[in-house]
Structures are given as C-alpha cells and as structure tokens.
C-alpha cells in the first residue's frame, strides 16, 4: 500500500467504493487521514463498513463541512454529460476534487529514497487502443530484464494498492481518459500515447475533450521522456507541442505502417519489421512476424510503444526482442489459446466493436471467424473491406441473423451458441487456418461480460484439443 501524504489529521471524502475506492480509503487511513466514504450501493457501503470505514451520506447539505478533498472513482462523471450531484455540491463548496491517480503521484516519493542507488520510476501509458497490451508488455520486458517492477492502474491492481517501491523499481501504469482527466498530479518519468480513435465521447463532450483528457498526462507535469504514436493527427499535434525541434530526442515518435525520417529518435514497424532510428541512422531491428503473442499491425504498434519505453529505460534491443518472444499476450486480446493439426485458435473477445474486430481480421491469413452477440449501431457493415481473409463466418447470439445479412458473399453459418460455433469451426478448419473469436458485438445477450465470453470460448477450444 502507498500511504497517502498531505492529509494527516484531516477529513477526506471518498465517492465510489469499488476496487479503486476502497484502496483509496485504506491508503488515506494509512496516511493518517479520516476517510468519509459513500457509495449508492448498500452492498458496497456494507463492505466498507466491515473494514471499519464510516459511511457518510455525501448528498447531505452539510456533507462537505471541514472536508479537505473529495476523491472520486473513475466511472463517476464530474463535468459531462452532467456532473454527479455530489461532485457538483463539492464544486459549489470549493472542495478540491481529485482521484486515486492524483493521490498516487503526490504520495509516491517516500522517505528513504536518498539511500537508493537508482530512484524508482513511473511509466504511464494512455491512448484509445492497445493501452493494456502495451502496459503489460513493458512490464514483461522489465521482468525479463531482471528489473523490479509492478503494474497497476486501469489494469491489475489499483495504484494505491501497490507496494512501496524498492531500489531501482519501475512501476508501469495503464491510465484511461477517465483517470487522466481529473488527477491533480500527473508526473510520470515516461509517458506513452498509443493512438486516438472515437471513444467515451459523451463523457468528454466530443473528440476535443477526449483528446484533452489524454493530453493532460503530458502537459500537467511534463515527463522526462515522451513516446507518442503519430499515425493520427492528434498524435502528430501532441508530438509537435512536446518537441523543441525535429531532432529533439526527449520525444520518441512511433508508427505502425510508415517510415519516420528526419527526427532525433523514432521507432516504427513496416511489413512486419520493427526499426529503431536515432540521429539519422538505424540502430536496431526486430522481425515481428514470428512473434506469436503480437499478431497484426495493431500489435506491432503496441510493440513499438513498449520497445520505445523500454529503450528509454536503458534496456538493450536484444533483451527486448527476447521478451517479445516470451510474451503470451493478454487474455481476450488476440490471445492464442490452442493449436491442433496446424490450426490456431485465437480469443479476441475484447473486440466488442467493428474497429477492434477489423484489426483482428487484418492480423491473420485464412480465418474461420466467430462473430456476433449484442450488435451495435450499423452492425458489421463497416467490416466489408476486411472480410477477404474470412473463409467462413460462424455467427452467434442476438445479432447472428442481422450480421448474416451484411456478409455479402462471405460463406457463413448461423450457429447461435458458442458451443455450436466452436464445434463447427474446429471440424471444418484446415491446416493453416485460424479460428478467431472477434465478436464485433457486446456480450450481454449471452454473457455478463466479454471476459466470461472469452473464457467460455477458451474452455470449449481446450475440450477439442
């Protein structure tokens, strides 16, 4: 646990008692503060009370009297589409509003660091797509390199649940826009921006607000080194704002698909090869085509981002390449879950929309595609340009028949259930085929979440092996 500093003997309100909220309350108490906790859910309040916390109804008119700060869980809106009433009340009272990320950065540096040979460092990763894979890959590279490391944020543990750092440790954080938009302190040593595509637009009142939330990671404190994906206009704009000149190597530009020339430090992937260039010459290259845990152009972009962050930490290219080969990927994200008679089974249950499904379809050759679920507006019509590799589609869930109408001439079978889809695809697959679960739809018609859907697919695949 990271005890929160700066609130000793003061009352601090905590709104939202999920994973991060409870961790925040514990860390505040460990730092000598008096947490006043609240959640609309009686079950959440009961759980907090069982840990000795005092539930206080923060909607009362006098709730913020003598309160030093309000700490808010990420899912609670503070501005758009409209502020949560409790947050609005805190704003009216002039009570500072923060989140656990802000508390982490103000509390991370602890007494005793002067005795360390190497100061602990923080790598923070944000962006629309690939954050989790990039974060996990950086963490994996550090483990392979023998560096002490922890991973937290939007993946794994809450940031205040981390153990106090040891000499030379590197903490790797995945940060969503919900986390970066409100944190009052954002001071990573290395900040990574993967890419930007439309998401959470109601929460941020459009693309401009969404980009502004991401940009705060680079603007509030100013990292020592920035890694920025420049395949979209927003990334190119951010890179331009951070660099003093094209040769400024405090910024590492990354790309998947274009060669980056004329800059001080770049990492890019083209035709399956990652290249690192510094001061006008190539200094390293990695063949990504043989790396099973990072298939497709979208994962090659993740590889570039993780490679750049690792190089900024002083890790050599050969060690990074070794780590790439042993990286197994994250569950439900282009995860290879089995292989039999030359047929590979891939779980990409996280592909809940057409954008992520398109990336999965571009990552493999001959595909037997399991798709469907609770479809979104427009169905899969936008995937038409990406159906070339699909040998046959196996459609499941509520949207199976609607999806079938949008497949054109692509062979398909309406399976309805995951059991039937896996059985049929496995029986018909030939050596060299990939049986790919990339649903392009939400899971809620048949599963509580995409994780349970992916776990069911994985269990069925392993029964066939």
CB 327 within 8 A of CB 291: yes
The conformation of residue 442, written as its DSSP 8-state character, comes to B
Give the residue numbers of the binding site for ATP.
Answer: 127-133
Give the residue numbers of the binding site.
Answer: 127-133
Order of strands across the sheet with 34-38?
54-55, 34-38, 11-15, 67-72, 97-98
- In angstroms, rounded to a whole number, what is the distance separating the alpha carbons of residues 200 and 206? 8
CB 351 within 8 A of CB 295: no
The two structure tokens encoding residue 423: 């059985």
What value, to the nearest 5°, has the Cα angle with vertex 214 and ends 119 and 231?
Answer: 100
- In angstroms, rounded to a whole number, what is the distance separating the alpha carbons of residues 74 and 318? 38
* Residue in 441, 426, 438 with CA at minimum distance from that of residue 340: 426
93 Rama class: left (phi>0) / alpha (psi -120 to 50) / beta: alpha
CB 172 within 8 A of CB 123: yes
The two structure tokens encoding residue 119: 């100061």
Question: In the chain, how long is the greatest CA-to-CA distance?
Answer: 69
Catalytic positions, written as ranges:
131, 154, 200
**In the beta sheet, which residues pair with residue 414?**
395
- In angstroms, rounded to a whole number, what is the distance separating the alpha carbons of residues 51 and 61? 26
- In angstroms, rounded to a whole number, what is the distance separating the alpha carbons of residues 80 and 65? 26
Q: What is the 3-state secondary structure (H, E, C) of 187-199?
A: CCCEEEECCCCCC
CB 254 within 8 A of CB 305: yes
């Amino acid at each position: 646990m990271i005890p929160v500093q700066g609130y000793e003997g003061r009352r601090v309100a905590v709104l939202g008692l999920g994973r991060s909220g409870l961790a925040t309350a514990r860390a505040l108490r460990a730092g000598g503060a008096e947490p006043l906790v609240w959640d609309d859910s009686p079950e959440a309040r009961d759980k907090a009370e069982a840990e000795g916390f005092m539930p206080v109804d923060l909607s009362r008119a006098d709730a913020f009297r003598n309160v030093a700060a309000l700490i808010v869980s990420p899912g609670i809106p503070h501005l758009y589409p409209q502020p949560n009433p409790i947050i609005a009340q805190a704003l009216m009272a002039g009570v500072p509003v923060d989140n656990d990320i802000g508390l982490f950065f103000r509390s991370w540096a602890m007494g005793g660091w002067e005795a360390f040979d190497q100061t602990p460092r923080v790598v923070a990763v944000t962006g629309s797509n690939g954050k989790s894979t990039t974060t996990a890959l950086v963490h994996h590279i550090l483990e392979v390199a023998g560096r002490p490391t922890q991973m937290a944020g939007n993946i794994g543990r809450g940031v205040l649940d981390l153990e106090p750092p040891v000499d030379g440790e590197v903490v790797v954080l995945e940060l969503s826009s919900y986390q970066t938009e409100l944190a009052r302190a954002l001071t990573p040593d290395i900040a990574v921006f993967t890419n930007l595509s439309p998401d959470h637009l109601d929460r941020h009142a459009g693309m401009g607000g969404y980009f502004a939330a991401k940009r705060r990671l680079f603007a509030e404190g100013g990292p020592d080194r920035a890694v920025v994906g420049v395949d979209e206009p927003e990334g190119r704009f951010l890179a331009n704002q951070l660099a003093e000149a094209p040769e400024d190597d405090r910024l590492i530009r990354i790309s998947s698909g274009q060669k980056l020339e004329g800059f001080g430090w770049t990492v890019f992937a083209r035709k399956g090869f990652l290249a690192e260039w510094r001061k006008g010459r190539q200094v390293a290259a990695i063949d990504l085509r043989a790396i099973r845990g990072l298939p497709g152009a979208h994962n090659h972009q993740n590889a570039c981002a993780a490679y750049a962050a690792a190089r900024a930490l002083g890790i050599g290219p050969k060690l990074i390449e070794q780590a790439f080969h042993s990286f197994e990927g994250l569950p439900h994200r282009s995860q290879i879950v089995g292989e039999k008679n030359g047929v590979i089974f891939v779980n990409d249950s996280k592909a809940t929309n057409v954008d992520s499904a398109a990336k999965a379809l571009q990552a493999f050759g001959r595909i037997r595609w399991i798709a469907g679920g609770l479809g979104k507006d427009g169905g899969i019509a936008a995937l038409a340009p990406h159906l070339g590799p699909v040998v046959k589609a196996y459609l499941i869930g509520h949207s199976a028949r609607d999806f079938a109408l949008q497949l054109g001439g692509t062979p398909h079978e309406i399976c309805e259930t995951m059991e039937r889809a896996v059985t049929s695809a496995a029986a018909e697959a030939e050596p060299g085929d990939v049986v790919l679960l990339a649903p392009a739809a939400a899971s809620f018609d048949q599963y509580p979440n995409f994780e349970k859907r992916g776990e069911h697919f994985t269990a069925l695949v392993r029964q066939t092996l």
